[in-house]
Amino acid sequence: MDKSAPPAGALLPGTQIRERRLSLGLRQAEVAAGAGISASYLNLIEHNRRKAQGDLLGRLAQVLGVDVATLSEGAGGQLLDDLRTAAASVPTMPAELDRIEDFAGRFPGWAAVLTATLARAGQLERVVAALNDRITHDPHLSASLHEMLSAVSSVRSTAAILAETEDIDPVWRGRFHRNLHEDSERLAVGAEALVAYLDGSESRETEQAAAPQEELENWLAARDWHLAELEDRAGALHLQTEVAGLASAAARSLGAAFLTQAMAEAEALPLATLAAAMAETGSDPALVAQKCRVPVLVVMRRMALQPGARVGLVCCDASGTLLFRKPVEGFVLPRFGAACPLWPLFTALGRPMTPVSATLEASGRVPRLFRAMAYCESRLPLGFGGPELREAGMLLFPLDQAPDHDQVRAVGSSCRICSRRNCPARREPSIVLQTG
Amino acid sequence: MARVLLIEDEMNISEAIRFILSRDGYEVVAVHDGAMAVSAVQDASPDLVILDLMLPNMSGLEILTSLRANPQTADLPVMMLTAKGQGRDREAAERAGANHFMTKPFSNDDMRAAVRALTAR
């Protein structure tokens, strides 16, 4: 069978007649004679350039030994309707509607691609409309924007008064200076909250458009980043069922791979063993790894996924792409795009098997301190003849204050939403940082 | 000189408008709560009301509707303060009888000119 042919249900009548004739091993002349038409006319019918209707269709069905209904328009009608819809959707480019059957018959594969593309465009238009509707009517967004416009309005009027009024009373001047200060604070807080909201907002619409990794992380977050069922085989089955229920196929695949790894790691380092090792050695993953004879990254993941663990974890591959993000309060992990290049995670990535630790100050309205411990491991899945793959992990422990002897490294989330001025590593302007 | 009743819950905007108009010789009475607005109109007998659209307890639109329903204030000039993005509310205020709209953020010169025009009627 021709590989470019669409499914049988989508075949046009002429194409069906041709296929049926060929399957019976009949020549065009034989069938044409049986139906009382010329072979050349049958050729036109078979290529959907002429339509067989009424008695003629009945005679052809009889010669070919099939019901008239199977040769009727209904089979390919949907495809033709879809093509007509496609033509109507671009009124500025008139399509040859009078040759639509010819087109569908001669290029069924391309016709199917065209209609599938149209369907996809329609689906995307609906998502855009939903997002647009949300931006317009979201009460939180509306209130935030109103708040910011009010502050901008006040700043504009007050600044103009101060700039244009030479003989302003000192009491009024003091009051206006104070108002300006208050409003600039409001603006800073409002802008940051707005950016955080837009960057981290979740709704049904955006969940539908969420990246597969995000879908998986949302599932883990809903389980408070702990999978108690990992500790026994029977429970793991339940987890697999849950992962199989994730929305996208890509997320289900990622989830299955994540569970396979998590189950193996839970077996290699059960919770009780981890807890005992940590009680003895503290929270240094390298010491725990040495004691329990497991890789450091396994310890990092097991530590981060303990019940109620107040510790963040980010993992990346050799390209710096974040593969796993478990957030911790006060340290914003980028949802889209690349992370801050100043993270110790990336230092470790360049120095496999070398521990990197640092005290970090995460940017934000209230800067927070963290102890970061990063480590990179490499592996050779295809042996010496294949590529070396790297994976780095970074644990983030919240700190109340920086240790006296430690230098604090100022880091951000991603340049786009980072408010640090004069950052030597900035690669794109910030949308929360006033420039000029 | 003309008396202006300013109904605006944002204190800093209210102070700025009050300062601008006072220097131009207007007597400005400021109210910050929607619920107090209607009685303030009766008490102050203003020549112009500057009315914010979004107010606590009673919206600017409700206040405007109430003013227009009262024969004594049906023709009182009312300037609405709106923020960009409040297109639908603005249309409703237009139908309810607002005389002028000032969009936040506004320039002080535009505010002065609009007040001058509305009080010169």
Residue A374's DSSP bridge partners are A356, A394
Contact B33, B56 (CB under 8 A): yes
Confidence of residue B19 (pLDDT cuts 50, 70, 90): very high
Q: Work out the average pLDDT over A211-237.
A: 85
More confident call, A269 vs A367: A269
Is A8-120 a CATH 3.50.30.40 domain?
no
Q: Is the pLDDT of residue A335 over 80?
A: no
User: What's the CA gap between A54 and B109, in Å, rounded?
Assistant: 80
Residue of B19, B84, B106 with shortest CB distance to A161: B19
Q: Do A150 and B85 touch (CB under 8 A)?
A: no
At which residue do the structure tokens 């957030």 appear?
A327
CATH code for position B87: 3.40.50.2300
Task: Compute the distance between CA of residue A226 and CA of residue A309 in angstroms, rounded to an integer.
Answer: 9
**Most trustworthy range by pLDDT among A172-186, A284-298, A390-404:** A284-298
Q: Could you tell me which chain B residue has the CA closest to the CA of A178?
A: B12
- Could you tell me which residues come within 8 angstroms of residue A181 by beta carbon, excluding any fewer than 6 positions away? none
Predicted local distance difference test score (pLDDT) of residue A261: 94
Nearest to B12 among A154, A160, A172 (CB): A154
Structure tokens at A36: 């009382």
Interface of A with B in 110-169 (CB under 8 A): 142, 145-146, 149-150, 152-158, 160-161, 164-165
**Mean pLDDT of the A255-275 span:** 93
Average pLDDT on A59-86 reads 76
The mean pLDDT value for B29-46 works out to 90
Quick one: which of A281, A315, A309 has its CA closest to A273?
Answer: A281
CA distance A209 to A218: 13
pTM score, whole prediction: 0.48
Q: Is A223 left (phi over 0), alpha (psi -120 to 50) or beta?
A: alpha
Over 60: is that where the pLDDT of A202 sits?
no
In terms of phi and psi (left: phi > 0; alpha: psi -120 to 50; beta: otherwise), the region of A79 is alpha
> Which residues lie closer than 8 Å to A69 by C-beta, 6 or more apart?
none
pLDDT tens digits along A180-198: 998 988 888 778 777 766 7
Q: Which residue has the tokens 């949907």?
A: A78
Q: What is the pLDDT of residue A234?
A: 74
ipTM value: 0.90
Give the domain extent around B99. 3-119
Number of domains in chain B: 1
Q: Does A179 touch chain B (CB under 8 A)?
A: yes
Where exactly are the structural domains of chain A?
Answer: 8-120, 138-200, 211-268, 310-436
Q: Any chain B CB within 8 A of the CB of A173?
A: no
Whether A12 has a pLDDT exceeding 80, the answer reads: no
Class of the CATH-defined domain A310-436: alpha beta
- Shortest Cα–Cα distance, A172 to chain B (Å): 9
Task: Give the separation between CA B34 and CA B65, rounded to whole angstroms.
Answer: 13
Query: Region A233-260: what's the mean pLDDT?
Result: 82
Is residue A386 very low, low, confident or very high in pLDDT (cuts 50, 70, 90)? very high
The answer to whether A150 contacts B84, with C-beta atoms less than 8 Å apart, is: no
How open is the CA angle A217-A220-A226, to the nearest 5 degrees? 140
Determine whether the interchain pair B16/A183 forms a contact, defined as Cβ–Cβ distance below 8 Å. no
Q: Is the pLDDT of residue A378 over 90?
A: yes
Mean pLDDT, range B78-102, rounded to an integer: 83
Residue A27 is predicted with a pLDDT of: 92
Integer Cα distance of A360 and A344 in angstroms: 9
